[in-house]
Amino acid sequence: MFGLDKRDTGVLIIVTLLALFAPIILNPFPTDSAMAQFNAGYPDLMQKFVIFGIFAIGFNILFGLTGYLSFGHAAFLGIGSYSCVWMFKLLGYNVIPGIVLSILISGLFALLIGFVSLRRSGIYFSILTLAFAQMCFALAYSVLSNPRFNLTNGETGLQVYANDPQWFHRDGLPDLPHLFGLSMRATQKIQVGAWEFQLNAGYYMCAIVMLICFYLAIRIFRSPFGMMLRAVKSNQQRMNYTGLNSRPYTLAAFVISGMYAGLAGGLLSAVDPLAGAERMQWTASGEVVLMTILGGAGTLIGPVLGAGFIKYFENIFSKINDNVLHSWFAFLPDGLEDFMVFIIHPFIGKGWHLTLGILFMLVVIYLPGGLVEGGQRVLGWFRKRSAKPDAKAGKTEPAE
């Protein structure tokens, strides 16, 4: 299908199904139960899942294929966000021009930064991209927000004010980002028994964009261009000796992944029209590195998983407080309840960073291939177990 082989089609179909049914899959617990704390099926978090999924997919095209580790990709995310909000300010709240511009502008920046940074490789490349991104952050946070020439609105974040021109804004249109009149905030709530599912317009728009991005990424991975990039990773020197100039290929990969990041930034603004400079800080760049490696660098689905994993932690674990803990363990005798709360307390709420740090270490130590490797191991283990009792049945298993 779509020029993909059977296996890739399968992956694409699985991702499509996951994305379409996310509002249901991510809300497994009834709304009023104690476990509802772990539900992730609300619009904001689902949007974050797919948007950071796009960001990580793009980053993976550069890092997973060529091995060039960029520590400045958040800059493109930020640039995309700012461009999109500027379109809102100037043209009006339709998201299409904003998203298009965010891809173009971040692509342009990626071309410039990539052209300079790719003259070096290894850690020198990493530090160059880091330096560029930190410069962008510092400029956006303070210098470019001075009252005379306010491009970024500094600490407060760029946002739309009532007195902005918004040339194409008409009365009938929503006063929030919209797609030809369909507000990104529009949410259909569906109650099924004790469950409540939220179908959000902004989420589905992002999810469709993510699926397109994912499809494109598969095509890039499988194309001759992708092969060339892998060759850069495995041995750039040998490639150069054969008379091939690898620079245009790596630059193209850099620009493509920069545009992915810009697109993600644009979408962030599209679902929530405020762009802050913190998006460009080095920790934000580090976050996408973590997402990719955590999920499995160089694999197709890994970065998306990694993005979901980190965003889930950030949003769900930080919201568990002692009160919630007490309600979970209320069934235990008092002393034991307090003890359990005492034990878990350092790891939740304000301690979610600690839990995340420990998990990073565990994943990197035991699963060098990231979550994807973890999944494969579990699958392999199940296969072995199911294969043992009736070895003959193994014949009918799909060959893969």
Partner 1 sequence: MDKSNLSRRGVLKSGALTSAGLAVPTIFTAQSAAAFTNEPTGGSVTLGFNVPQTGPYADEGADELRAYQLAVEHINGSGDGGMMNTFSSKALQGNGILGKEVKYVTGDTQTKSDAARASAKSMIEKDGAVMITGGSSSGVAIAVQGLCQEAGVIFMAGLTHSNDTTGKDKKANGFRHFFNAYMSGAALAPVLKSLYGDDRRAYHLTADYTWGWTQEESIKAATEALGWETVNTVKTPLAATDFSSYIAPVLNSGADVLVLNHYGGNMVNSLTNAVQFGLREKQVNGKNFEIVVPLYSRLMAKGAGENVKGIHGSTNWHWSLQDEGSQAFVRSFGTKYGFPPSQAAHTVYCQTLLYADAVERAGSFNPCAVAGALEGFEFDGLGNGKTLYRADDHQCFKDVLVVRGKENPTSEFDLLEVVEVTPAAQVTYGVDHPMFAGGALGSCNPGA
Partner 2 sequence: MDALLLQILNGLDKGSAYALIALGLTLIFGTLGVVNFAHGALFMIGAFVAVTVQRVLSLSYETVDPSQKDFLGNPLKVKTPYVESWFGPETGGMIIDWSVPIAIVFAIPIMVSVGFIMERGLIKYFYKRPHADQILVTFGLAIVLQEVVKYFYGANPIQTPAPDALNGVANVGAAFGMDIVYPVWRIVYFFFSVTIIAAIFSFLRFTTFGMVVRAGMADRETVGLLGINIDRRFTIMFGVAAAVAGLAGVMYTPINPPNYHMGMDFLVLSFVVVVVGGMGSLPGAVLAGFLLGILESFASTTWATTTLPGINQIIIYLVAIVVLLTRPRGLMGLKGVMED
Give the whole-angstrom CA distance, residue 362 versus residue 258. Answer: 30
Give the whole-angstrom CA distance, residue 257 versus residue 76. Answer: 9
Shortest distance in whole angstroms from residue 96 CB to partner 2: 34
Backbone φ, ψ for residue 275 (5° rounding): -120, 120
275 forms beta bridges with: 158
Shortest distance in whole angstroms from residue 318 CB to partner 1: 4
Which of partner 2, partner 1, none does residue 318 bind (CB under 5 to 8 Å by kind)? partner 1
By CB under 8 A, residue 53 contacts partner 1: no
197 forms beta bridges with: 190
Give the whole-angstrom CA distance, residue 349 versus residue 277. Answer: 25
Among 285, 352, 372, 375, binds partner 1 (CB under 8 A): 352
Give the whole-angstrom CA distance, residue 75 versus residue 332. Answer: 49
Whose tokens are 């490789």? That residue is 121
Query: Which residue in 59, 89, 75, 71 sits closest to 141, CA to CA?
Result: 75
By CB under 8 A, residue 164 contacts partner 1: no
195 forms beta bridges with: 192
Query: Which residue in 103, 13, 57, 121 sits closest to 292, CA to CA?
Result: 57
Which of partner 2, partner 1, none does residue 183 bind (CB under 5 to 8 Å by kind)? none
Among 98, 114, 265, 276, binds partner 1 (CB under 8 A): 276
Among 1, 17, 190, 387, binds partner 1 (CB under 8 A): 190
By CB under 8 A, residue 234 contacts partner 1: no
296 alpha-carbon distance from chain centroid: 13
User: Is residue 190 within 8 Å of residue 199, measured between CB atoms?
Assistant: yes
Scanning 100-108, 136-144, 207-215, 290-298 for contacts with partner 1 by CB under 8 A, the matching segment is: 136-144
Q: Report the residue number, 238 or 383, with the smaller CB distance to partner 1.
A: 383
Which of partner 1, partner 2, none does residue 203 bind (CB under 5 to 8 Å by kind)? none
Residue 312: HSE in the Cβ half-sphere, 13 Å Cα cutoff: 15
* Largest pairwise CA distance in the chain: 77
Q: Report the residue number, 50 or 65, with the smaller CB distance to partner 1.
A: 50
- Interacting residues with partner 2 (CB under 8 A): 63, 69, 116, 119-124, 127-128, 130-132, 134-135, 138-139, 142-143, 146, 236, 282, 286, 289-290, 293-294, 297, 346, 351, 353-354, 356-361, 364-365, 368
Backbone φ, ψ for residue 120 (5° rounding): -120, 160
By CB under 8 A, residue 149 contacts partner 1: no
Shortest distance in whole angstroms from residue 51 CB to partner 1: 11
Shortest distance in whole angstroms from residue 204 CB to partner 1: 15
Q: Are strands 182-183 and 178-179 parallel, antiparallel or unpaired?
A: antiparallel
Q: Which residues contact partner 1 (rule: CB under 8 A)? A: 10, 39, 42-45, 48, 138, 141-143, 145, 147, 153-157, 159, 161-163, 176, 185, 187-192, 198, 272, 274, 276, 278-279, 314-315, 318-319, 321, 323, 349-350, 352-353, 396, 398-399
